[in-house]
Amino acid sequence: MQDSPDNVVQPDWLDDIKWTDDGLIPAIAQDADNGDILMMAWMNRESLALTVQEGQAVYWSRSRGKLWRKGESSGHQQVLRDIRLDCDADVILLKVEQKGGIACHTGRRSCFYRTLKDGQWVSAEPVLKDPNAIYGSN
């Protein structure tokens, strides 16, 4: 294990990952029970180490420039069941238990709710809960 710049001890297995130039890796969250793809987000070294340490998904928010614990505002945490690294070592797969059944900020089970029909993206999945009821109105 080695110290990071902010004196957080980071495991050596993080060195096996091919990080982007920005120090990130795409992470796909998959339902551990039925295999549904729930979402994709970005992780950095710290968020991936915290995910393993805490047993729940912690991502890196590029738009906010900070760590983002999945479910911190919605209550829809992702409990880690398994973690995989692809053959090129540049994509993480998190097999998770999705708390509350909603992974998407739109109130749907999955972020992959649009399907291409006749040259247009159309919604193929219902909104399970109004996002304003989850996050409050902005």
Pick out the residues of the known binding site: 86-88, 90, 104, 111
Give the residue ranges of the annotated binding site for Zn(2+): 87, 104, 111
Give the residue ranges of the annotated binding site for Mg(2+): 86, 88, 90
As a whole number of angstroms, the distance between CA 107 and CA 32 comes to 20
Residue 111's contacts (CB-CB under 8 Å, 6 or more residues apart) are: 38, 39, 40, 103, 104
- Decide: 41 and 103 in contact? Cβ < 8 Å: no
